[in-house]
Structure 1
């Protein structure tokens, strides 16, 4: 009776038989796992291998597996200040505007803050990334949308404080416009320190 909603799936997997003992249940679980993990992917995998045989690529992979490992196996790299700086697209106001002048003061503060965070250790950079995107690591396929930096201009955000604001739905970090790095760093540290458990159970 418990398997009734799964009858079509079990028939497709070749596992439709009565369950009378605990051993029957264990055998059913084994058969389902074999079907799902092995048999379901076998045909696509064979097609993939046939495709790799084109131009002798499969032979090269077999003979030089370490050379091809980065292409097929994701290897997370530790976050660095440079990687974080490259990750975020900085959205500046038009050249020559008063807004742009204020923003260009803060951009070096952002980069200095990333460098200071790197000096503290990888956990601090992970906190910054999590604050802005909700993720503590860069996904293998990257972010969508690309993380960005925007700025909090007083006349547009009168209801906000001088703290950074993040919108993890669009991976956007809004930086406050301070004229002192010490104040900028203090506000960033305060914001990160008070959202440490955001998005975590």
Structure 2
């Protein structure tokens, strides 16, 4: 489950529990209950940032992302059904504290939370379903926590444009981030490939007009949807309706066509997208670019534009495909015709069948009546081919500059050892070839499972 859905689900469950509590407490009274003052303290368990409702219910949160900030967080709608009870409650998200108890913020502390979008107000009725509460709580804190709208992410390509934060700009935070990125790249670390293509276009060219943008580059889901409607309208009436949805910001952008027609709609969309993705954030992007000049990386990037792969967010991830993983790990066979060669080729077949079973979630079936522990059963449900690549190389994805040295599948003929071992510095996965692993598929698969569980992996 993603962080976004986990947050929304936990919040909705907390509010449902509150509804049941309020309904029980007011069963003998008429009308909605009056809001009571929040308790001064309540228990706080260690964990990430801990949002809490005003009546003391706590639930898990996610780290603050870099997204556009909504100035106020209020409930969008309230059902007006006289047959059910109506409630309005504040929701306060408190940063994590290591203390055993935490106090509800008052005065300036509460004002600071409100400024950061960490206080919202929810209005609901006692007959709401869990799904309705989940949608409502997601809507209230969507921008603060970068929660997805229904099945949508921040953008269809997974990119979130950087948010302009004046305090960060004044303190040179974006420049520091750029220097950190340069240092990571120069020292051969995992490339910071998380920027949208339009932003990388601007970094590489230094010219806003060279940035190739589409509505899908916009992080705001409503704005993105409206501009997509403008771009794909086939009738003038549909175009006018789509443009009317842009009235709240259209006249703030100079030089946009005041009257949008089929002839100039592409210019309208392109300039609007360019404004919202690059121009509006140009000051923080310029500071980031200044930071990227650290160690001479920026000049090297502009001399060799192909190096943009170090910054571009990756496209389709092939690291999870079994055939791709099998192709990355090159078998190091004994000489052709030797007695060992046939056994090694059989081990490669077993290894590829293991990858395919992992991909198809059929690995459990290969163990037959073998009894697995609870941890092994749980691990099987999350296992993917990316785990095997990470087990062998330390990375579940191919780095932008490729693997060095080339990953290898090494065969060790030893009757006394069975569990595969790895040397991630050398990108080598060692398989033991013996009577047990060659003859018994069940034993080979189980040994590989044990090695994965006990080894380091990330996917």
Please indicate, yes or no, whether the TM-score normalized by the shorter chain is above 0.5.
Answer: yes
Unpaired runs of 5+ in structure 1?
Answer: 1-24, 53-68
Contact 1:133 1:147 in 2 (8 A): yes
- Say if 1:26 and 1:151 are closer, same or farther in 2 by CA, change over 3 A: closer
2:315 maps to 1:75 = yes
Corresponding residue pairs, total: 152
**CA distance, structure 2, for counterparts of residue 122 and residue 80 of structure 1:** 15
Contact 1:164 1:191 in 2 (8 A): yes
Name the residue aligned to 2:172: 30
Name the residue aligned to 1:86: 327
- Say if 1:29 and 1:111 are closer, same or farther in 2 by CA, change over 3 A: same
1:179 shift after superposition: 2.2
Name the residue aligned to 1:6: none
- Say if 1:119 and 1:199 are closer, same or farther in 2 by CA, change over 3 A: closer
Q: Give the one of 354, 371, 395 matched to 1:113.
A: 354
SS in 2 for 1:138: coil
TM-score normalised over the length of structure 1:
0.62
Structure showing the higher helix proportion among its residues: 1
1:145 shift after superposition: 0.8
1:151 shift after superposition: 0.6
Larger radius of gyration: 2
CA RMSD of aligned residues (A): 3.6
1:188 shift after superposition: 0.5
**CA distance, structure 2, for counterparts of residue 86 and residue 129 of structure 1:** 11
SS in 2 for 1:176: strand
Deviations 1:104-129 (A, max 9, x none): 22111011011011112884212211
Contact 1:80 1:122 in 2 (8 A): no
Counterparts of 1:122-201 in structure 2, within 5 Å, are 123-154=383-414, 161-177=417-433, 178-195=438-455, 198=456
Deviations 1:60-107 (A, max 9, x none): xxxxxxxxx99x833251411110111111110001111112212211
1:39 shift after superposition: 3.7
**CA distance, structure 2, for counterparts of residue 137 and residue 27 of structure 1:** 33
SS in 1 for 2:439: coil
- Ranked by relative contact order (alpha carbons within 8 Å, sequence separation 6 or more), the top structure is 1
**CA distance, structure 2, for counterparts of residue 185 and residue 138 of structure 1:** 25
Unpaired runs of 5+ in structure 2?
Answer: 1-166, 176-283, 362-380
**CA distance, structure 2, for counterparts of residue 29 and residue 182 of structure 1:** 59
Contact 1:105 1:179 in 2 (8 A): no
Contact 2:392 2:427 in 1 (8 A): yes
Contact 1:117 1:125 in 2 (8 A): yes
- Say if 1:127 and 1:28 are closer, same or farther in 2 by CA, change over 3 A: same
